[in-house]
Amino acid sequence: MPELPEVETIKNELSPWVVGQSFTEVTILDATLVCGGSAEEVCRGLIGQRVESVERRGKYLIFHLANGRSLIIHLRMTGSLLLNPQEVNRYARAVFHLSNGHCFVFNDRRRLGKMWLVDDANTIICKLGPEPLDKRFTPGVLGQRLSRHHIPIKAALLNQCIVAGIGNMYADEALFAARIHPLRKADDLSREEVRTLHNDIRRILQAAIGSKGASVDTYVRPEGELGMAHFDFKVAHRGGEPCPVCGCVIERVPVQNRGTCFCPRCQGLRPRRSK
């Protein structure tokens, strides 16, 4: 958290307030937030610069500046960008004031988020895999990338170098929809299974964006509202509850140290199908 739908929602809802505006004051309250330079250098580099556009790449937010540089923010597990909060609380790590009189605050309870000010955004995001909602992300592309990895499919979906933006809960949802056990090897899926998984990944992510993300923990939208996508979850965060399809108890197991929820009946380990 936040994953692709949450970061996309933040981008969509913050952009109208920041695009075309300049930074008038920047206060970094936690210097460990900044990577690749000092907090003072970032503040100096931002003040007076106009935001030309805001882009999402994977789970990264990229503020493209008029001078060609980019402010990049990764919210990690508990980060949020709050627009005009009534108070700057103890979880605030940075405050950005804009020329239109508004401000946004980088809040981060666990202080795991990171921020960069760089000349070229590709120096930070160059290793990311394809965007799952891009038209160039086809079943063939997914199958080709999965075929290179003899690891659990759940772990493969979380690997940002294979596909960008998918996180723990949406990987669980996509695998449940595709009826694929999370421990199946990524290179063991048939073409039919890859095609189904590809369609379910895109469908679930698009639906979650339409619901403004999932507020299962600390995620809130810039103006403080909650997302609603978690109300549509079938297995994610539902370990111990009955499967909505078959009634079997949803299991929760670790996959590479990530809690993974699945239905042992709907997603049973099946014999390998023909490619």
List pLDDT tens digits, range 156-194. 999 999 999 999 999 999 999 999 999 999 999 999 999
Catalytic residue list contains 135: no
Question: Which tokens hold the place of 7?
Answer: 């970061």
In whole numbers, what is the pLDDT of the chain averaged over residues?
96
Q: Which pLDDT tens digit goes with each residue over 2-60?
A: 999 999 999 999 999 999 999 999 999 999 999 999 999 999 999 999 999 999 999 99
Instruction: Give the separation between CA 19 and CA 33, rounded to whole angstroms.
Output: 23
DSSP letter, residue 244: T
Is 254 designated active site? no
Query: Residue 9 in contact with residue 227, Cβ under 8 Å?
Result: yes
Return the percentage of the chain with pLDDT > 70, whole number. Answer: 98
In the set 2, 5, 152, 222, the catalytic residue is 2
Decide: 185 and 202 in contact? Cβ < 8 Å. no
pLDDT at position 272 over 90 = no
**In order of start, what are the domains of the chain with their CATH numbers?**
4-123 (3.20.190.10), 139-262 (1.10.8.50)
User: Is 173 among the catalytic positions?
Assistant: no
Q: Which amino acid is at 185?
A: K
Active-site residue identified among 3, 6, 8, 193: 3
Instruction: State the catalytic residue, choosing from 56, 59, 145, 179.
Output: 59
pLDDT for 131? 98
Q: Which of 109, 185, 202, 258 is catalytic?
A: 258
Three-state DSSP class for residue 81: strand
270 is catalytic: no
